A and B are shown apart, each in its own frame.
Chain A
Amino acid sequence: MRINKVLPSIVLIDDDEVDIMNFERTMRHLAVVNKFHIFRNGEEARRAILGDGGSIKKPFALIVDLNMPKMGGHELIEALSTQKELIGIPVFVFTTSDADKDRQEAWELKVNGYFLKELSQNAYMQTLKVIVDFINSSEIPQ
C-alpha cells in the first residue's frame, strides 16, 4: 500500500433499514477503515454527490441497491453516468435481484460489478470484502 494514498470513501444507497444495519455490522466486522456514507434513496444520494453543497468528496465509490422507492438504482446510475466529473467513479450494484433484466440493464450502464446480497452471513461478508478490496486496490480519480 502506498503511503499517503487517500482511501476512497464508500457511498451506499439502500432503502432497507435492516440491509443497512447488515452492511454496517459487516463493515465493522471486516474492519474496513474507509469512511462511508449511507443514503436511503437515489434522489438524496444524487443531491449529495452533485449538489452544490454536496457532502461527498472524491475519491469515492458507489454501492447501489436496485429496488428503491422514487429513484431506483438504475435510474440513479444513469443520472450520474452523464456527469463528466464523475468519470472513473466505480459503481457496484449490490442487490437481492437476480432477474436477468436487472443484470442486463445494469451492465448496459457500464457498472463495475453486479453482486447479489447473499442471505447467509458468511457469503454476504465475502461479497462485500471483494467489493471493498476492489475499491481499495483501484486507482480512483482524486
Chain B
Amino acid sequence: MNEEKWLSIKAKADKRSDGWVLGLIGTITDITEKYKAEQKVKWLATVVEKTKNTVIISDSQQRITWVNRAFEELTGYTSEEVIGKNPGHFLQGDQTDKATIRDIHEKIVSKQNYRGTILNFAKNGNPYWVQMAIDPLFDSKDGLEGYIAIESDVTEEIKAKNELIRSEALLKAVLNSITDYIWAIDENYKVTFANNATKRELKEIYGVDIEVGKDMRNLYGSKDQDIWEEFLKSSLTNDFKRDRIVRVMGDRKRVFDVYFHPVFELNTKTGVVLYIRDITDEIKAQLNLEEKTDQLQKAQILADLGSWVFDGKSVVSCSEKMMEWLDLPSEQISYTEFTNAIDPDSNTGILDFLLNEGLEEFTIEHEFEAKAGSSRILRTMARRSQSQTSNRFVVRGVSLDITQQEKVRSQLKEHASELQSTNAELNQFAYAVSHDLKSPVRAVYNLAQFILQDLSKGEEHIKPKVEMLIQRAQFMEQLIDGILNYSRAGRKKYSISSINTRQLIRQLLESIDLEKETAVSIREKWPIMEGEEIPFIQVFSNLLSNAVKYGKAKERGIVVHSLEDRMPEFAHFNIQDFGDGIEKQYQEKIFDIFQTLDESSNGKGTGIGLALVKKIIADKGGEIWVESDINTGSNFHFTWPIINKRVDYENQ
C-alpha cells in the first residue's frame, strides 16, 4: 500500500537529574482523516472568499455575522459596517418589489429555502439585480443556527431581457401601425407573424381571422385559393427578393409590390417574411400624372409653347417644344448649356436671373439663331418660387414662339407707315394737281377773254395770244398724261428679261429727237443684266430727254456712263449734261412732283418727269441723285437692282 498518511506525534524526553536525556516517551496518532477535513474547510473558505457571488451569513435573528469580499465590492459596504444588521433593512429600496420582499420573509420565518431575483441598492444608491439563494443553517441538534444567502449579480441580464421585451413591443407596434402587409410563415406554411394590416385585410376580404400557428394555405376563401397556394409555395421555394404582382382580390384589380425575406436558421431556410405593399393607388396616380403630362405636352405643342424648370442648383428640364427650338440633345441639361442655347450672345440677362435669388420675375423677348438658318423670336417669362420638395428655389419658365407674330406685327407697322406716307403723298399730290392743273385752265380762260377784248385791235395783238392759248392747252394735255403716268408708275410688276444695256441706250438715243449737233458718248463697260425692262426704259429715256433738253447739247453733248456700284447687287448709271446746272438748294426739290426751275408757261417742263423717274427707281429699290454746279452742268446718277445678281460687264 502506498497510501499517504498524516501522523500526529507527541513525545516527552525522559531526563536524568543532570539533564541527560535518557529517551523519548510519546504517542503517534493517525490524523489523516482529520487533516483532510481541515484542508477541505480551508479550500471552501478560499472559494467563498474568492467567488464573485456575494455570500452573506447571518444568525437566527437575521443579523449579519459575515460577508465575503464580493459582497463588499458589489454593495460598497465594508463588513464592519454591515455586521449585526438585517440585510433586508439596508439593501432593499422603494422600487424593490414588495411581493418579493414578503415572499422572502415568509420563507425565512418558516425556515425554508428561497430562490428568486430581487432589486437591491448599493451604498451609493445604484440599483442592481441579484438572483439569490437563501438557505437556513442548522446545528447538529437541528436547532436554527442562522442563514446563508448566496447572490449573483444579474443586473446586465435583467437589463438585456427588459430591452428585448421593449424592442419587441416597439417592433410590433411599428409593424402594426404600418398599412402595408407584413407577415411571416414557416416552412410548413404556419403563420409565425402577421401585422394588424394583414389581419384586417384578410378579415375584410375573406372573413377569416389569422393567428400565429394557423396554416396560411387554409385561410383564404375558395375563390382565390389556387392563386394563393401557388404564391405561398413560390415564396418559400424561390429565392427572388422582389416581385410586382397584379391580382384580382375580391372584386378589385390590385397591384402589389412583394418583398421576400427568407428566414434561415443554421443555414437552413425555415420560413419567409413577406412585405406586401398595395401600390394600386400609386400606379393609378402615376398613370394619371403621365396622362396629364402628356396632355400638357400636346397642348404646348399645339400652342407653340415651351416650358422649362430649373431645379435651382444645376439642371434645367425642358419640354419637347423647348428642345426642338433650342436644338437640345436631351430634356435634362445643365443650366449653362441651357443659357448658352437660349441666349447665345449672353445679352438677355437670363443667366443672372437663374442664379440671383433676389429676382422673382423675368420677361424677355429675344431673337436668336438656334440652328443654322432658323432664326426665332421667343418671348420667355420666368418666375422663381419655393420648391415643394426641397428648401431651394426653383425657376419655372414658359417660352412662346412669337416669330410669326412679330413678323406680322412688323409687316403691319410697315404697311401702316407705307399707308401714312402714301396718304401724305396723296394729299400733296392733290394739292399740287389742284394748282398746276388749274393754272393752264385759268390761262386759257384769261387768254380767251383778252382775245375777245382785243378783237378790234388787229391781228398782231391777237395772234400771239392765240398761240399762247394753244400752247397752254397742249401743256395741259402733257400735264394730264404725266399725272396719269406718274400715278401708274411703280405699281405694276413687269416680266424679267435679259437687258443688254448698251444696245438699249443706243436704241433710245435714236428715238429721241436729237438736235443735229448733239454729241453723245457712251463710256465704260455696260452690263447685260436681268431685270424689268419696261420701267428701266422709262427711267433712262426720261433722263436722256432731260439731258438733251436742259443740257446745252449743241455745244458739248452728253455723256452716259455705266459704273460698278459699291453694292454688287446694283448696277449704277449716270447721265451727264453740260447745261446750266442746278443750284445746290434745288437739287433735291427737282425730284418733287410739279417742281420746275423755270417760270411756268415757257413751254419747257411739266415737273413730272423727274418725279416719275424717282418714283419708279424707289419702287424697284434703287436710288437717284444729282451732282450739279451752276454753269458746268448736271450729272444724274441712279442705281438699278440686278435680279439674280447676274451681271456681265461687256467691253464693247
Residues of A that sit less than 8 Å from B by CB: 15-19, 21-22, 25, 40-41, 67-70, 96-97, 99, 101, 117, 119, 121
B583 / chain A contacts, CB cutoff of 8 Å: 70
Besides A17-B602, A18-B601, A68-B599, 18 new A-B residue pairs in contact (Cβ under 8 A), listed by A number: A15-B601, A17-B600, A18-B446, A18-B468, A18-B472, A19-B442, A19-B446, A21-B446, A22-B450, A40-B599, A67-B436, A67-B439, A69-B595, A70-B583, A96-B438, A96-B442, A97-B435, A99-B434
Q: Give CA–CA (A23, B595) in the complex, Å.
A: 24
Which residue on chain A has the smallest CB distance to residue B594?
A67
B60 / chain A contacts, CB cutoff of 8 Å: none
Q: Give CA–CA (A19, B443) in the complex, Å.
A: 7
The 10 closest A-B pairs by CB, nearest first: A15-B599, A18-B443, A40-B599, A17-B601, A69-B596, A22-B446, A18-B446, A69-B597, A67-B435, A16-B600
Q: Give CA–CA (A59, B434) in the complex, Å.
A: 36
Q: Give CA–CA (A69, B445) in the complex, Å.
A: 22
Closest beta carbon of chain A to B614's beta carbon, Å = 18
B449 within 8 Å of A by Cβ? yes
Which residue on chain A has the smallest CB distance to residue B430?
A99
Closest beta carbon of chain A to B626's beta carbon, Å = 15
Residues of B that sit less than 8 Å from A by CB: 431, 434-436, 438-439, 442-443, 445-447, 449-450, 468, 472, 583, 586, 595-602
Inter-chain contact A69/B442, CB cutoff 8 Å: no
Which residue on chain A has the smallest CB distance to residue B454?
A25
B602 / chain A contacts, CB cutoff of 8 Å: 17
A16, A21, A41: the one within 8 Å of B450 (CB):
A21
A22 / chain B contacts, CB cutoff of 8 Å: 446, 450
Inter-chain contact A119/B442, CB cutoff 8 Å: yes
Main secondary structure of the interface of B (DSSP, over half): helix
Q: A18-B442, A18-B468 are in contact. Are A96 and B435 (CB under 8 A)?
A: yes
Closest beta carbon of chain A to B594's beta carbon, Å = 9
Inter-chain contact B599/A69, CB cutoff 8 Å: yes
Inter-chain contact B449/A16, CB cutoff 8 Å: no
Which residue on chain A has the smallest CB distance to residue B444?
A18
Inter-chain contact B445/A16, CB cutoff 8 Å: no
Q: Give CA–CA (A41, B598) in the complex, Å.
A: 9
Closest beta carbon of chain B to A64's beta carbon, Å = 14
B445 / chain A contacts, CB cutoff of 8 Å: 119
Closest beta carbon of chain B to A100's beta carbon, Å = 10
Inter-chain contact A96/B439, CB cutoff 8 Å: yes
Inter-chain contact A16/B443, CB cutoff 8 Å: yes
Can you give 5 contacting A-B residue pairs, CB < 8 Å?
A17-B468, A18-B442, A18-B447, A68-B599, A70-B583
Closest beta carbon of chain A to B300's beta carbon, Å = 56
A15 / chain B contacts, CB cutoff of 8 Å: 599-601
Closest beta carbon of chain A to B147's beta carbon, Å = 139
Which residue on chain A has the smallest CB distance to residue B598?
A69
Inter-chain contact B449/A121, CB cutoff 8 Å: yes
Closest beta carbon of chain A to B434's beta carbon, Å = 8
B598 / chain A contacts, CB cutoff of 8 Å: 69
Closest beta carbon of chain B to A137's beta carbon, Å = 28
Q: Give CA–CA (A40, B600) in the complex, Å.
A: 9
Q: Give CA–CA (A15, B443) in the complex, Å.
A: 12
B439 / chain A contacts, CB cutoff of 8 Å: 16, 67, 96
B600 / chain A contacts, CB cutoff of 8 Å: 15-17, 69
Inter-chain contact B442/A70, CB cutoff 8 Å: no
A18 / chain B contacts, CB cutoff of 8 Å: 442-443, 446-447, 468, 472, 601
B434, B435, B586, B601: the one within 8 Å of A70 (CB):
B586
Closest beta carbon of chain A to B274's beta carbon, Å = 99
B586, B596, B597, B599: the one within 8 Å of A16 (CB):
B599
A121 / chain B contacts, CB cutoff of 8 Å: 449
Q: Give CA–CA (A119, B597) in the complex, Å.
A: 26
Closest beta carbon of chain B to A122's beta carbon, Å = 11
Which residue on chain A has the smallest CB distance to residue B607?
A69
